[in-house]
């Protein structure tokens, strides 16, 4: 029976033993050395990569995050390198270049526009003061002197004349449109155009100038720099305080954790804006007294920052770290139950060493992401405070303070508001988008 092949009965569920035995038979060349082609075709193991290399690989695949990173780098160069390229400073008043638009007309075009305006307005369109000065000059040429009554009549006549002709008055833009003249990029005053015509080099006012003759582009650059510095410094303050507080609370647990979290809940209930305003009002006299006490580096720092900005940094140190501490606490509560923490305790490691060497490094991804997302929040807060007048102190500028100053001339010079507001919005959007991409790249759970 052993040499005969056994067949199953029809309908039987019993497996065919002979077929199963055939499966275990190896071919005669099963243990022969592999050929070079077989070795080349053998599936290789995936090359091992570090945590950071794998995170960078996933971050590069996120096109939105990489575009946002490029915008952030461009804004950093714009804010920190740009002011050294432009010959103007943020507080320099260029005489004769007040209230320039970010465009200009050539000297020849200006002559054509002025001739057209004089022809179609049929008047010199003098202001009351200019009309009085002209009448005085004419009277002196004739050896006469104007009385106060005559001056009043001339002023009233000039004022009425201006009111009547305001509706029919041809503006510079209308004259240029009628003549088919197009403006050129960048702002130049008439004196600067004359210098260019004489062969001198004049740096243009790319974004124009304000009413005091200060270059808007340089002020936007400095405002961008201030916003980035404030955002980074505030994020570092939040990181240090929040990481220490959250890690101690999560590691100790028990009564210590309960008490520390009740303190966090109390801080959550405090209105941050009110604290900043109170600190600014309270610290201002003391800081001014300290500022006038000498000429040391600390006094100069207080002079540059001002009491409002210092109050904001203090508020970040007092209030804004609570979210970071809760996130770190949650991570520590999960990680402290791991075997390597138990092994470290068994070897006699103290709590501070376990937190610094084992727990915090293992939640570094969450720490970096939360810290980076704190930067746009700090930038927005600083811009808002500067907008309402309790941010940076003059003459130092900020994007928020520039937006506030531009409101008074919004109908005439709208670009003074749109340029700093657009850069501020672009900065906050890019930081948030890159922060989201950084969170996805550093999260091991999203690893494919």
**Residue with more model confidence, 217 or 143:** 217
Q: Cα–Cα distance between 448 and 144 in angstroms, integer? A: 95
Query: What residue has token string 């100790």?
Result: 252
Beta-sheet strands, E only, within 130-218: 184-185
Q: Cα–Cα distance between 173 and 271 in angstroms, integer? A: 50
**Residue with more model confidence, 167 or 315:** 315
Does this model's pTM top 0.85? My answer is: no
Surface-to-core class of residue 105, CB atoms within 10 Å of its CB (0-12 exposed, 13-18 middle, 19+ buried):
buried
Q: Cα–Cα distance between 86 and 249 in angstroms, integer? A: 50
**Residue with more model confidence, 54 or 432:** 432
Query: What residue has token string 């309960």?
Result: 258
Which of 25-29, 117-121, 139-143 reaches the highest mean pLDDT? 139-143
Which domains does the chain possess?
61-91+214-440 (1.10.3720.10), 105-181 (no CATH)
DSSP H/E element including 104: strand 103-104
Residue 128 — pLDDT band, cuts 50, 70, 90? low
Mean pLDDT of the 17-44 span: 68
Q: Cα–Cα distance between 442 and 58 in angstroms, integer? A: 9
Look at the alpha carbons of 126, 129, 132, 137 in this order and tell me if their dihedral is positive or negative.
negative
Identify the bridge partners of residue 184 per DSSP, sorted by sequence position: 104
User: Are 366 and 331 in contact, with CB atoms under 8 Å apart?
Assistant: yes
Q: What does the pLDDT read at residue 45?
A: 55
Mean pLDDT of the 301-305 span: 74
In tens, the pLDDT along 37-73 reads 766 666 555 566 677 888 888 888 889 999 999 999 9
**Residue with more model confidence, 268 or 12:** 268
Closest CA to 415 of 203, 173, 103: 103
Which of 15-24, 129-138, 280-289, 354-363 reaches the highest mean pLDDT? 354-363
Q: What does the pLDDT read at residue 80?
A: 92
Among the residue ranges 223-227, 242-246, 349-353, 434-438, the one predicted with the least confidence is 349-353
Surface-to-core class of residue 319, CB atoms within 10 Å of its CB (0-12 exposed, 13-18 middle, 19+ buried):
middle
Q: What does the pLDDT read at residue 424?
A: 93
Average pLDDT, the chain: 80
**Res. 127: pLDDT tops 90:** no
Helix (H, G, I), strand (E, B) or coil at 335: helix
Two tokens at 169?
């008055």
Mean pLDDT of the 346-355 span: 84
Residue 1 — pLDDT band, cuts 50, 70, 90? very low
Helix (H, G, I), strand (E, B) or coil at 142: coil
Q: What does the pLDDT read at residue 351?
A: 81
Residues 6+ apart with CB under 8 A from 409: 211, 416
């Amino acid at each position: 029976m052993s040499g005969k092949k056994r067949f199953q009965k029809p309908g039987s569920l019993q497996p065919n033993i002979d077929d199963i035995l055939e499966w275990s038979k190896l071919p005669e060349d099963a243990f022969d050395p592999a050929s070079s082609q077989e070795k080349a075709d053998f599936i290789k193991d995936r090359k091992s990569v570090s945590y950071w290399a794998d995170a960078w690989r996933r971050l590069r695949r996120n096109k939105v995050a990489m575009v946002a990173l490029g915008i952030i780098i461009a804004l950093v160069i714009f804010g920190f390198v740009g002011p050294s390229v432009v010959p103007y400073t943020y507080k320099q008043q260029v005489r004769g270049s007040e209230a320039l638009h970010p465009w200009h007309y050539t000297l020849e075009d200006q002559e054509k526009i002025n001739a057209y305006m004089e022809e179609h307005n049929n008047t010199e369109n003098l202001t009351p003061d200019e009309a009085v000065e002209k009448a005085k000059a004419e009277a002196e040429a004739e050896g006469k002197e104007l009385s106060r009554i005559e001056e009043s009549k001339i002023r009233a006549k000039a004022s009425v004349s201006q009111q009547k002709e305001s509706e029919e008055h041809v503006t510079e833009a209308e004259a240029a449109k009628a003549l088919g003249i197009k403006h050129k990029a960048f702002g130049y005053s008439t004196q600067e155009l004359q210098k260019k015509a004489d062969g001198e080099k004049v740096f243009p006012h790319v974004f124009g100038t304000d009413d005091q003759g200060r270059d808007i582009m340089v002020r936007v650059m400095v405002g961008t720099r201030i916003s980035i510095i404030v955002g980074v410094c505030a994020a570092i303050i939040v990181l240090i305080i929040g990481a220490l507080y959250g890690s101690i609370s999560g590691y100790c647990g028990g009564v210590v954790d309960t008490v520390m979290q009740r303190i966090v809940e109390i801080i959550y209930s405090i209105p941050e804006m009110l604290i900043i305003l109170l600190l600014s009002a309270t610290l201002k006299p003391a800081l001014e007294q300290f500022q006038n006490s000498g000429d040391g580096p600390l006094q100069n720092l207080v002079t540059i920052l001002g009491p409002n900005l210092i109050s904001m940094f203090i508020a970040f140190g007092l209030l804004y770290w609570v979210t970071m501490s809760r996130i770190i606490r949650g991570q520590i509560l999960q990680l402290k139950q791991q075997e390597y923490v138990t092994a470290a305790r068994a070897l006699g490691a103290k709590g501070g060493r376990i937190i610094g060497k084992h727990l915090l490094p293992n939640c570094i991804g969450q720490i970096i992401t939360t810290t980076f997302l704190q930067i746009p929040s700090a930038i927005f807060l600083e811009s808002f405070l500067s907008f309402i007048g309790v941010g940076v102190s003059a003459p130092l500028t900020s994007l928020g303070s520039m937006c506030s100053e531009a409101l008074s001339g919004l109908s005439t010079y709208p670009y003074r508001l749109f340029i700093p507001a657009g850069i501020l919005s672009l900065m906050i959007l890019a930081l948030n988008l890159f922060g989201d991409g950084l969170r996805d790249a550093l999260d091991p759970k999203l690893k494919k």
